[in-house]
Copies of this chain bind each other. A is one copy, B any other.
Amino acid sequence: MVNEPIYDEPVYLDNAATSWLKPESVYVAVTQALREQCGNPGRSGHRFSVSAGRILDNARLLCAQLFNAEKPEQIIFTANATIAANMVLKGILNIGDHVITGSLEHNAVIRPLHRLEQTGISVSKISVDLHQGIQLERLKQTVTAKTKLLICNHISNVFGTVNDIKSIGEFCRERGILFAVDAAQSAGCRKIDVQAMFIDCLIFSGHKSLFGPQGTGGLYLRPGLRLATILEGGTGNYSELLEQPEQLPYRLESGTPNTPGVAGLAAGVQFILETGIETITKKETQLINRLLTGLATISGIRIIAPKPEFERGSVVSVQLEKFSPEQAASILDSSFGIAVRSGLHCAAEAHRFMNTLENGGTLRISPNYFNENQHIDRCLDALRKLS
């Protein structure tokens, strides 16, 4: 029969955009919060409001535990990682400051930096090694007396390149440079210890490897670090002040938070803590290795990823000889039921740097903990047919 799909179940391999399969507890938590616990947290004293407040308190505790934050109030919830990145960059940098970033950054960092550049902040983008990430030697050459901040991703969302956060953090701490990490692609699937890694600001997405719903994300801030605010409003306390209150997390959480979303995020983080981050990393690494090994046997595919001997994130970018990334993704979806992403992945800078911009970007395959070997194999089989 014409147009009958040749597969039973679709395979989702676009977890770097948003995780599709999440722990069942996440769905349950969101629904329960929405139906039973959604007073306005911190805004009233009655049972519904108190119950909602507990959701936020609990989520803060769990995130603090996952990232080894000193205190739960150092965790700020935002609607996504992009808002957190804007808060960090605009809350720290002033006219005359110098900031360093990498060449594989996401538009969530690049675009606010571009905006700041126009207001008198100087920005240096250092080239990043595809295999080893930011190299300290290069970093040292870029630092000036005015360098106030280094911001880089933990893992590239396009190529899976991993930055050695601990070494970079140690370097920054020694030099008195603030260190902000975009952990959108690592929070929940790679170990992050903000204290051991000398991280001053950790920007995280809630709906990727933390398994929360879309509409969640956040920020860890080292105790004592004060951000100027870019968003002010009602905080449910200190209401008599015209100024935004100083106390965290309230200072940086204006307006009604996404209580049901944060309930789901907490369930996701709880799942990660119970499963163990090492178990998750191990499973993802095994899937990525299977994918890379398989891809290497297919002719007509260019793999743009760190060499096997280096640490990698759970994303692999490829280019096909016969099809553009967009064509390939479209065929994989329509004919094989495989969901992967094509294009620039909101990170044109990374493509400019790797010379993949002109070719329409890359085809990106990103499994997560809930994928299985058969998903990788089905993707490999399909790619073989397109090559």
Contacts and interface: CB of A to CB of B under 8 A. Distances in A.
Interface of A: 10, 12, 14, 17-18, 20, 26-27, 30-31, 34-35, 38-40, 43-49, 78-83, 85-86, 90, 106-108, 110-112, 114-115, 205, 207, 213-217, 229-236, 239-244, 254-261, 264, 326, 329-330, 332-333, 338-348, 357
A372 B264 CA distance: 32
A85 B232 CA distance: 9
Specify how many copies of this chain sit in the oligomer.
2
Given A31-B27, A31-B30, A261-B215, A115 B244 contact: yes
Contacts of A44: 14, 17, 329, 339-343
Contact of A254 (B111, B205, B344): B111
Given A20-B39, A27-B35, A46-B339, 17 more contacts: A14-B39, A17-B40, A44-B339, A44-B342, A45-B326, A45-B341, A49-B339, A49-B341, A79-B79, A86-B233, A111-B232, A111-B234, A111-B254, A112-B232, A114-B242, A215-B258, A239-B343
Contact of A215 (B43, B205, B240, B260): B260
Contacts of A110: 242
User: Which of A85, A111, A332, A348 gathers most chain B CB within 10 Å?
Assistant: A111
A40 B27 contact: no
A106 B232 CA distance: 11
A239 B347 contact: yes
B215 A259 contact: yes
A306 B79 CA distance: 37
A247 B236 CA distance: 35
A346 to B, nearest CB: 3
B357 A233 contact: no
Contact of A20 (B14, B48, B233): B48
Contacts of A215: 79, 215-216, 256-261
Contacts of A329: 44-46
Contact of A18 (B38, B106, B241): B38
A30 B40 contact: no
B82 A231 contact: yes
Given A17-B40, A256-B207, A83 B214 contact: no
Given A40-B18, A45-B329, A258-B258, A234 B341 contact: no
A30 B31 CA distance: 8
A257 B214 contact: yes
Nearest to A214: B259
User: Interface centre among A115, A216, A239, by most B CB within 10 Å?
Assistant: A239
B80 A255 contact: yes
15 contacts: A14-B46, A18-B256, A20-B38, A20-B39, A34-B213, A45-B330, A46-B341, A47-B333, A48-B339, A49-B339, A86-B254, A107-B234, A111-B234, A215-B258, A215-B259
Contacts of A112: 231-233
Question: Which one of A40, A216, A330 has the greatest number of beta carbons of chain B within 10 Å?
Answer: A40
Nearest to A48: B339
Given A18-B39, A79-B79, A346 B205 contact: no
